[in-house]
């Protein structure tokens, strides 16, 4: 058999044997680091926590101011919107009134157009009647005069004939 080679376990055994000393050294390093940071901040007068608090407060103040401005602008927009709605309602009412008036005027216009049409027809009828009366008058007037002179005795004769026939 082969025997294992002896190891150098001296340093590992020494470190592994004293865990309390290692922990104490690590703790001392951490405390020294924290202490040096605290001394450095205290000496330089620069504390990031206070700067952060101040910055946070400034941001909160700006946010509150922006929020107030938004509320004011929103109220202004609401007022403007309400005015626009009111104006729109007035315009709609006016439009409705104009539509009613337009419908009334259109109705009146139709009635008047019908009346003008009937008057035009009546005038045209009168013109035609007058034209036909004028056209028949010159030709009828001389024959009527001649007939009246000649037709009187004929009218009397025809009347006598009728009497005679009715008696007989």
Q: What is the tens place of the pLDDT at every residue in 14-58?
A: 555 688 888 999 999 999 999 998 888 777 766 666 778 888 999
Q: Are 79 and 85 within 8 A, CB to CB?
A: no
Answer whether residue 6 is part of any domain. no
- Residue 62 burial (CB < 10 Å; 0-12/13-18/19+)? exposed
Domain-located, residue 10:
no
Q: d(Cα 1, Cα 5) in Å, to the nearest integer?
A: 12
Least confident span in 6-20, 32-46, 77-91, 108-122: 6-20
Query: In angstroms, how far is CA 164 from the centroid of its own chain?
Result: 98
Region label for 158, one of left (φ > 0), alpha (ψ between -120 and 50) or beta (otherwise) = alpha
Kindly indicate the confidence band of residue 164, based on its pLDDT and cuts at 50, 70 and 90: low
Neighbours of 67 (CB within 10 A): 10
Q: 102 in a domain, yes or no?
A: yes
DSSP string, 59-100: HHHHHHHHHHHHHHHHHHHHHHHHHHHHHHHHHHHHHHHHHH
- Within-domain flag for 9: no
* pLDDT band, very low/low/confident/very high, at 160 (cuts 50, 70, 90): low
For residue 145, the enclosing domain spans: 18-45+55-167
Length reported for the chain? 168
**CA–CA separation, 87 and 81 (whole Å):** 10
Q: Are 22 and 15 in contact (CB under 8 A)?
A: yes
Could you give the number of structural domains in the chain? 1
Task: Give Dmax over CA atoms of the chain in angstroms.
Answer: 191
């Amino acid at each position: 058999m082969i025997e294992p080679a002896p190891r150098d376990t001296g340093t590992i055994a020494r470190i592994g044997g004293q865990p309390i000393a290692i922990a104490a050294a690590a703790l001392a390093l951490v405390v020294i680091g924290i202490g040096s940071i605290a001394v450095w901040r205290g000496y330089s007068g620069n504390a990031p926590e206070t700067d952060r608090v101040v910055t946070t407060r400034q941001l909160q103040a700006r946010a509150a101011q922006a929020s107030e401005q938004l509320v004011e602008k929103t109220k202004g927009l609401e007022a403007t919107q309400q005015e626009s709605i009111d104006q729109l309602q007035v315009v709609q009412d006016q439009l409705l009134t104009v539509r009613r008036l337009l419908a009334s005027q259109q109705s009146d216009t139709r009635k008047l157009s019908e009346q003008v049409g009937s008057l035009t027809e009546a005038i045209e009828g009168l013109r035609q009647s007058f034209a036909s009366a004028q056209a028949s008058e010159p030709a009828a007037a001389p024959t009527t005069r001649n007939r009246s002179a000649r037709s009187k005795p004929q009218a009397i004769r025809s009347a006598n004939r009728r009497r005679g026939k009715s008696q007989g």
